[in-house]
Amino acid sequence: MSLKAITEFHSYVSINDIKPVLERGVPSNIELTLEDGKVQSSVFIFFNGNNSILKKMLQTHDELCVFKISPKVMALPNIIIADRAENQEGASFYTFAEGVPFLNFSVLTDRNGWTDRKGSLEENRLKSFQRCAQLIVPNTIPSQLITGIYVLSEKVKIAVKALFERPLPIPIIVNPRLFFDTTPVLPIPSTPVLLRSLPVYNSEGCDDSMDEDAQEQRLDDCEPVALSLQERNAADDEEYSRGVKTGRIQFVSVLKEGETKKPRLVRGTTEDE
């Protein structure tokens, strides 16, 4: 495995700092003393932001985002590699060419291996350090190299969007796994969809004044209609849930897979045969 396995770098940014960073680039956050004694303002980014440092910040994950940095950052001049976080015990610093052989790419790219705890205490500790390896860039990282923004949840995504009057030119990506949240994320449709498992019928012209046979005939003539997310959420998730909606769509009934019977309207509620 080599540098080709590194497809992005990560930088932690407070939500409150997103706008200035996107305008001026990722600013310097450390000062390094070089071999010649000069002090250099630099910015560190992680080869993989899903590491023990971010894990220690769990209480603030809804206040953070992780900037996705293009691998083109490796082409910038005078960059340095740290084999672990610059403030961790035993950290070593190398020129870019010298530091690459000291990177543990399997630990940097493995989604779960660095926390499997299968090795000895010392081996696990070393993996945790190696996962925190950093690329250190002089001065700042140009905003043009920021290619995306990772956030913990849809709630945080909405908060980030609210900071800007216009849509951002880069994607805001909900990635709870990066923030150590393994709760499954259900996709949210952005447009109305036709739900095969949740038949919804246009009941226009069907009311209490009609007898049951007339209602059944009216429904037999109906076609399923598109159901928006809001309308779907209005119905129970339980099988055979019942509900009444105002307007063109009057009622919803969830049928078991393979069933074809349709609901009827009885005194303002739905009822199955």
Q: Give the count of alpha carbons within 13 A of 30, CB side only.
A: 16
d(CA 219, CA 203): 7
> Which residue reads 């070593």 in tokens?
92
CA distance 25 to 214: 67
pLDDT in tens, 11-39: 999 999 999 999 999 999 888 887 777 78
pTM for the whole structure: 0.65
Separation between Cα atoms, residue 73 and residue 27, nearest integer Å: 14
The predicted structure's pLDDT at residue 216: 52
Question: 181: closest CA among 90, 62, 37?
Answer: 62
Of residues 118 and 79, which shows the higher confidence score?
79
Distance CA 46, CA 135 (A): 6
Q: Is the predicted pLDDT of residue 245 greater than 80, yes or no?
A: no
pLDDT of residue 267: 37
Amino acid in the structure at residue 125? R
Distance CA 167, CA 106 (A): 36
3-state percent helix, strand, coil for the chain, nearest multiple of 5: 30, 25, 45
* Mean pLDDT, residues 162-178: 93
> Which whole number is the average pLDDT over 68-94?
93
pLDDT of residue 186: 53
What pLDDT does residue 214 have?
56
Q: What is the pLDDT of residues 33-61, one digit of tens each?
A: 877 777 889 999 999 999 999 988 877 88
Mean pLDDT along residues 169-182: 90
Residues 6+ apart with CB under 8 A from 207: 265
Residue type, 59: Q
Please give the Cα distance from 155 to 50 (Å, whole number): 20
Token code pair at residue 66? 């992780």
Find out whether 179 and 152 touch, Cβ atoms under 8 Å. Answer: yes
- Find all residues with CB under 8 Å of 120, minimum gap 6, and list them: none
